[in-house]
Amino acid sequence: DPVNFSCAYDALFTILYAAWRNDNLIFHGCNSSYMVALGRQMVKINDAEGFVKARDVVRVLLHRNHPSIFPYGPSYIAVSDLWDILMPSKEVCMRNIYVCPNCQGHLVPHAEEWLATSHVVEQHSGSIGQWLSNKLLRRSHICENCETQMVMHRESKGLGPASMVGFVLYNGGIFAEHTWSIEAGGTLMELVLKGVVFWHESHFTSVIVNSAHQAWFHDGIKTKEQC
């Protein structure tokens, strides 16, 4: 849209739409009114015009409630801000809790390592998988009350097959794997890469990744490129 810049919305919403087409339960459990509105509009999409209408319906809501963050006109927005509004980053979906076996469940709150719906990956090299492994690493903690070695329990809070987690990368040297496996409560959960939004030459675009590891650029620049 040359009047009201929309590439950030198009890039992210295309990934969400592709994920929704693959699993229409993916928005269930989201406590964001914007995601609910987006899901309702996606049901009505049957052509490119329908996608534009769905985008604009949600954009009106965002601008009405947060005009300085989501302005109209030839202004860019931060995709990370858009994601955080759609999937509130304060929502913790997994955490490590350390419990003392001798102190009747004495917790050490500051020892928690948690995974939320949005994260900034603050490293200059390596991969998201390495960052996740370090984030949820089983660490050694001593009880402050009785100096006994504490036992770690990983608690899953709403992270299921349809959950979505976003990672913000400010360094181009970070590698994104196709899948990430996380164990919680004796169950192995798998996060699958659905897409990547990136900024290049004053334009946001996105790549949708399918189960065959084929990359589809949402604006039609390239399609079916292996990644």
Distances (CA, A) of 21 to 25, 176, 178: 9, 23, 19
Q: Does the pLDDT at position 210 exceed 80? A: no
The model's confidence at residue 64, banded by pLDDT at 50, 70 and 90, is very high
Cα angle value 19/23/25 (rounded, 5°) = 110
Domain ranges of the chain: 1-88, 91-193
Average pLDDT, integer, range 148-166: 71
* 92-99/113-116 β-pairing: antiparallel
The model's confidence at residue 111, banded by pLDDT at 50, 70 and 90, is low
Give the DSSP letter of residue 110: G
Q: What is the pLDDT of residue 161?
A: 46
Average pLDDT, the chain: 79
Closest Cα to residue 77, out of 147, 149, 7? 7
Average pLDDT, integer, range 200-207: 82
Closest Cα to residue 175, out of 149, 154, 191, 193? 193
User: Does residue 186 contact residue 193 with C-beta atoms inside 8 Å?
Assistant: no
Q: Please, which residues bridge with residue 5 across strands?
A: none
SS3 content of the chain, % helix, strand, coil (to 5): 30, 25, 45
Phi and psi at 14, nearest 5°, equal -65, -40
Nearest-angstrom CA–CA distance, 114 and 132 = 10
* 187-192/166-169 β-pairing: unpaired
Q: Please, which residues bridge with residue 95 across strands?
A: 114, 155
